[in-house]
Amino acid sequence: MKYSNLDKLFNPRTIALVGASANPVKWGFIVFFNILKGEFTGPVYPVNPKIESLLGIPCYPSIETVPDSIDLAVITTPAPTVSSLIDECGRKGVSFVVVITSDFSETGAKGADMEQEIVEKARSYGMRLVGPNTMGIFSAKTHLHALMPPVMPLHGSLSMFSQSGNVGVQMLYWGINKGVGYEKFVSSGNEGDLRCEDYLGYFAEDEATTVILAYLEGIDPDSELYRTARWACRKKPVLIFKGGRTKTGGKAAASHSGAMAVSSKVLKAAFHQAGIIEIDDSQGLVDCAKAFSAYPIPRGSRIAILTRGGGWGVITADACEEHGLIVPPLSREILEKLNTILPPYWSHANPVDMAAVITSKPYLECLEILAQWDEVDAVIALGGSIQGALDFKNDVKGTEELKESLAFAREIAKDYAEKNDIVLDLARTLVDKTGKPIIMVTLGDYEDHKSDLTNHRVVSYPTPERAVRALARMVDYRRFLNSPDEDIKQ
Amino acid sequence: MKILEEALKRGDSTLSEHDSKLFLASHGIPVTREQIVKTEEEAASAAAEIGYPIVLKGSGAELAHKTEMNLIRLDLRTDGEVREAFKSLKKNSAVKEVLVQQMVKGDRELVVGLTRDPQFGPCVMFGLGGIFTEILEDVSFRVAPLTQWDAEDMMEEIRAKKILGAFRGKPAVDKKIMADVLISIGKIGLEYEAVKEIDINPMKILNGKPVAVDALVVLNNKKD
């Protein structure tokens, strides 16, 4: 598969900020500030003929006067000025240009003409162009934060391209609170030159990227996205959240097939066929990416459920079935093993309801037995990690006996808190040992479980529905990987 | 393809039911046994050759929705019934010819189609047929070309997929043959720019095997 090499775009040695500004509410200032604040690994040269220096760094009157070669130029000046600046970048031998400036094809025919002009010009110099109308790019390796918003994403192995800068940047923010880190990000803007399939192809080949995310709105009729995706999805998971509807076939068709071919349905089919994991809401994108990036893809769809309370087990089992996951009955061998640990009134079935056993040791033992049960491919463990759920801070008034009981309850709570780390570490050990995802459901009212992921490399969600959804999407991907890889020639 | 070329030359926007089936059959898609006739005598002898029960359909390039226009005579079991039906159809002046067709008594009706998407090109559709196509919209799509896997996968995708299994004493649908049909439809879409859409509805199931009972090929005629 042919793809564009974008190494120098994401990991340039040098950057020039063309249109650097001393006015702190102008993008020429903000983007420059973000690059410096992000501690980009190489030199950054501000370019503006009207100012001497910016944030203590000498300014150059034009990019051609910068005494260094430039890999990446970021342009923030008004649209009518961009064309001649592209010429200057071209003469300078710049490799990539990121055009933050808006008011191009997104605003009408005049803008579209200008866009075509700058794209053709850039290409004539052998430069590639991001945008125009982009919110910028990010790369973990070189600490590159050439972005409009001051977001400092966590570093990780997700790479994302987004046709909406705002949506994409929000995914970077959401990652911070969930412990989900990014390797590369690009807001693709109007895609005058580089298009989503270029980023997809590059991320698929990029060794530092393990999972690809995208937010898409429209796909050009001549887009290579589908063909690129068919190849990319074999290499690594590609999760896409599609906003808006594509242009429908238009004319009412004479036959039923034509009339019913609402193109969102076709789009869904094409995504599925290519192996793309389609995510149907904004929260789901980072939510599912978390599991994809931290865990191996399950070998199949059989799930063991461990719960301390029956109701949550029921809810989890329902969600599994609704998502096409299988909750198999316990084998005799597993049943007997669990019998030696649990009191006689436990559920004797999958979901394994521990029936109000509150100490940590049996939970750990059950988790280990279920993870190693060879008839399941993943485990959902509920209520194993309940930091904050037990609150005995306040003293009680009453008898000495009551006070003693409170002291005992505090001991139990302390045991929970201490064992929580042990539960999480065991879960991770079992993931590594068995190759099966073990997803924790905390049922806690604290959203993001950042430390579970960052400190223990364990994936936790507050609700079983979210856990099941992430697992179901991973099973979808396994199903795709198991489908024959036929090289179709048209 | 001669049928296609001639229709395009005439400036037709669709192929007649019979021509649609000839075209599809030449690409390996199983269709009903049938003949076009002009006279009562021809109708009677065609019926005897095809075997009873028989369906007669009024034919003409402009007659797309035959049910609504009362141009179908079902379940004709004797020579006399065929002759009577022929005469009644000919009362409608739009009926130029009459299609004498094998009656397929399948209670499972599916739909198979081809559509063109501005982004993805030719796409194959599969789903519940008959009147349920429009009511339930229980259909799945795949972008052509389809692999064997794609074809089987799209059959699994409809909500009513149980209809493909063994059903009321009838055998399960032969998925291999059905997959071949879906793959062939995709190939037609890639091979013939002039074929804009295909609608096989119903695709009935006879002894577990699919048979196109009604079919319409819509042309992308530049003369439009």
pLDDT tens-digit map of A289-318:
999 999 999 999 999 999 988 889 999 999
* 3-state DSSP assignment of residue A184: strand
- Taking a C-beta distance cutoff of 8 angstroms, is the pair A93, A61 a contact? no
Q: Over pLDDT 90: what percentage of chain B?
A: 65
- Please give, rounded to a whole number of angstroms, the shortest distance from the CA of A82 to a CA of chain B: 31
- Taking residues A400-407, what's their average pLDDT? 84
CATH number for A298-479: choose from 3.40.50.261, 3.20.20.70, 3.40.50.300, 3.30.470.10. 3.40.50.261
- Taking residues A439-465, what's their average pLDDT? 85
Rounded-to-integer distance, Cα A151 and Cα A326, Å = 40
Domains of chain B as residue ranges with CATH? 2-30+106-219 (3.30.470.20), 34-102 (3.30.1490.20)
pLDDT tens-digit map of A99-151:
999 999 888 899 999 999 999 999 999 999 999 999 999 999 999 999 999 99
Q: For residue B48, what pLDDT is reported? A: 94
How many CB atoms are located within 10 Å of the residue A110 CB? 12
Residues whose CB falls within 8 Å of the CB of residue A485, separated by 6 or more in sequence, listed in order? A234
pLDDT tens-digit map of B29-64:
999 999 999 999 999 999 999 999 999 998 765 665
Q: What does the angle CA A183 – CA A187 – CA A191 come to, to the nearest 5 degrees?
A: 130
Q: Which amino acid is at A44?
A: V
Question: At A252, is the pLDDT very low, low, confident or very high (cuts 50, 70, 90)?
Answer: very low
Q: Which chain A residues are closer than 8 Å to B148 by Cβ?
A: 484, 486
Residues A219-255 as b/e (b if ≥16 CB within 10 A, e otherwise) read beeebbbbebbbbbbbbbbbbbbbeeebeebeeebbb
Q: What CATH class does A7-292 carry?
A: alpha beta
The tokens for B6 are 């001639």
Question: At A487, is the pLDDT very low, low, confident or very high (cuts 50, 70, 90)?
Answer: low
User: Does A337 have pLDDT greater than 70?
Assistant: yes
- Taking a C-beta distance cutoff of 8 angstroms, is the pair A106, A192 a contact? no
Domains A7-292 and A298-479 share a fold: yes
- Taking residues B79-89, what's their average pLDDT? 94
Q: What are the residues facing B195 on neighbouring strands?
A: B219
- Taking residues A414-418, what's their average pLDDT? 75
- Taking residues B77-83, what's their average pLDDT? 94
Least confident of A221-225, A375-379, A455-459: A221-225
- Taking a C-beta distance cutoff of 8 angstroms, is the pair A253, B115 a contact? yes
pLDDT tens-digit map of A141-196:
999 999 999 999 999 999 999 999 999 999 999 999 899 999 999 999 999 999 99
Rounded-to-integer distance, Cα B44 and Cα B66, Å = 21
- Please give, rounded to a whole number of angstroms, the shortest distance from the CA of A161 to a CA of chain B: 20
Rounded-to-integer distance, Cα A242 and Cα A264, Å = 10
Question: At B68, is the pLDDT very low, low, confident or very high (cuts 50, 70, 90)?
Answer: low
Among B157, B216, B222, which Cα is nearest to B5's? B222
Rounded-to-integer distance, Cα A200 and Cα B168, Å = 49
Least confident of A98-102, A406-410, B58-62, B106-110: B58-62
Q: Which amino acid is at A307?
A: T
Q: What are the residues facing B143 on neighbouring strands?
A: B123
The tokens for A47 are 């370019």
Q: For residue A308, what pLDDT is reported? A: 87
- Taking a C-beta distance cutoff of 8 angstroms, is the pair A453, A460 a contact? yes
Q: Which chain B residues are closer than 8 Å to A216 by Cβ?
A: none
Q: Which chain B residues are closer than 8 Å to A270 by Cβ?
A: 119-120, 123, 143
- Taking a C-beta distance cutoff of 8 angstroms, is the pair A341, A415 a contact? no
Interchain pair A266, B141: CB under 8 A: yes
Q: For residue A248, what pLDDT is reported? A: 42
- Map out the domains of chain A as residue ranges: 7-292, 298-479
Q: For residue A386, what pLDDT is reported? A: 54
DSSP state of A398: S
Least confident of A63-67, A97-101, A345-349, B181-185: A345-349
Rounded-to-integer distance, Cα A33 and Cα A14, Å = 16
User: Does A276 have pLDDT greater than 90?
Assistant: yes
Rounded-to-integer distance, Cα B217 and Cα B31, Å = 14
Distances (CA, A) of A47 to A42, A88, B215: 16, 12, 67
Q: For residue A447, what pLDDT is reported? A: 58
- Please give, rounded to a whole number of angstroms, the shortest distance from the CA of B201 to a CA of chain A: 9
Nearest to B149 among A226, A256, A484 (CB): A484
- Taking residues A216-241, what's their average pLDDT? 90
Per-chain mean pLDDT for chain B: 90
Question: Is the model more confident about A43 or about A266?
Answer: A43
Question: At A389, is the pLDDT very low, low, confident or very high (cuts 50, 70, 90)?
Answer: low
DSSP state of A86: H
Rounded-to-integer distance, Cα A347 and Cα A274, Å = 42
Rounded-to-integer distance, Cα B91 and Cα A44, Å = 86
Q: Is the complex ipTM higher than 0.85?
A: no
Interchain pair A219, B117: CB under 8 A: no
Based on C-alpha coordinates, what's the Rg of chain A? Answer: 27
User: Does A258 have pLDDT greater than 80?
Assistant: no
Least confident of A486-490, B153-157, B198-202: A486-490
User: Does A260 have pLDDT greater than 50?
Assistant: no
Question: At A445, is the pLDDT very low, low, confident or very high (cuts 50, 70, 90)?
Answer: low
The tokens for A253 are 């068709």
- Taking residues B155-182, what's their average pLDDT? 91
- Taking a C-beta distance cutoff of 8 angstroms, is the pair A219, A188 a contact? no
Q: Which chain B residues are closer than 8 Å to A484 by Cβ?
A: 147-149
- Taking a C-beta distance cutoff of 8 angstroms, is the pair B146, B183 a contact? yes
Per-chain mean pLDDT for chain A: 90
Burial of A355 (0-12, 13-18, 19+ CB in 10 A): middle
Interchain pair A256, B133: CB under 8 A: yes
- Interface A-B: count of C-beta contacts within 8 A: 104
- Taking residues A417-440, what's their average pLDDT? 92
Q: Cβ of B215 under 8 Å from any chain A Cβ?
A: no
Q: How far apart are the first and last CA of chain A?
A: 15
Interchain pair A258, B118: CB under 8 A: no
- Taking residues B143-150, what's their average pLDDT? 94
